[in-house]
Amino acid sequence: MKYIYELHKTMLDRSLILVYEGEFTQEITKSVLAMAERNMDAIGEDASIKRKVFNVMVECLQNIVKHSDEVDDDLYRGKNSAIFMVGKQEDMYVISSGNPVSNDKVAILHEKIERINNLDKDGLKALYKDIIKTGDISPKGGAGLGFIDMARKSGQKLQFDFEPINNRISFFSLKTIVPRTKESGKDD
């Protein structure tokens, strides 16, 4: 039972206000977003900050729902399990997610996010418009628009990592920081 206390302590240390681990569906996504919105309303968060955080959360959750891959592994036992966390600190929100992806997607995702991280505000806006204009979107919506939008709304680089699970699957971790100041990552 000590693990419950350890988990609670970790959540407090990391200033986590919302954690969900398990299978993600559209219904669960709606519930997670509603809980986060209630949390931000309860603390009286500024509407413009709340909008940015909410936008990043939606993109993270959609990424999990659309792009998680099933894992045939002893730990996952064929379940499509992912994790989503929101932390609130004095000067920022930290939105983190993690989900299994097939290893053949790792290089593509890595390249896509690195490209986004190497652009400034104007470059992100131009890339977003270019993708919309050219219609370079996969059937699952895999053009990277969500990642671009997260970078634009947060005004920050996306932090990410891939941890190999087995020879077919890796765990994709993504962290986005949304500053609690109105100046950074202005909506455009």
| Pair of tokens at residue 76 | 């996952």
Give 77's pLDDT tier (boundaries 50, 70, 90).
low
| pLDDT value for 188 | 52
- Look at the alpha carbons of 173, 153, 178, 88 in this order and tell me if their dihedral is positive or negative: negative
- Look at the alpha carbons of 118, 66, 98, 188 in this order and tell me if their dihedral is positive or negative: positive
User: What integer is the mean pLDDT of 98-114?
Assistant: 93
| pLDDT value for 73 | 61
| pLDDT value for 75 | 62
Give 144's pLDDT tier (boundaries 50, 70, 90).
confident
User: What integer is the mean pLDDT of 104-127?
Assistant: 94
| pLDDT value for 46 | 92
Contacts (Cβ under 8 Å, ≥6 apart) of 185: 52, 152, 153, 154, 155, 156, 178, 179
Q: Which of 62-71, 99-108, 140-149 has the highest mean pLDDT?
A: 99-108
DSSP H helical segments within the chain, as ranges?
A: 2-13, 26-42, 47-67, 103-117, 121-134, 145-154
Hey, is 136 helix, strand or coil? coil
Phi then psi for residue 185, to 5 deg, are 60, 40
| Pair of tokens at residue 143 | 């053009």
Contacts (Cβ under 8 Å, ≥6 apart) of 166: 71, 73
Question: What is the rounded CA–CA span in Å between residue 119 and residue 126?
Answer: 10
Within 10 A of 83 (CB to CB), how many other CB atoms are there?
A: 16
**Range in 11-15, 122-126, 132-136 with the lowest mean pLDDT:** 132-136
pLDDT digits over 158-187, tens only?
999 999 988 888 999 999 999 998 655 555
Percentage of the residues of the chain whose pLDDT score is greater than 70: 87
Give the domains, in start order, of the chain with CATH numbers: 2-179 (3.30.565.10)
| pLDDT value for 23 | 86
Give 20's pLDDT tier (boundaries 50, 70, 90).
very high
Lookup result for tokens 């930290």: 94
- Per-chain mean pLDDT for the chain: 87
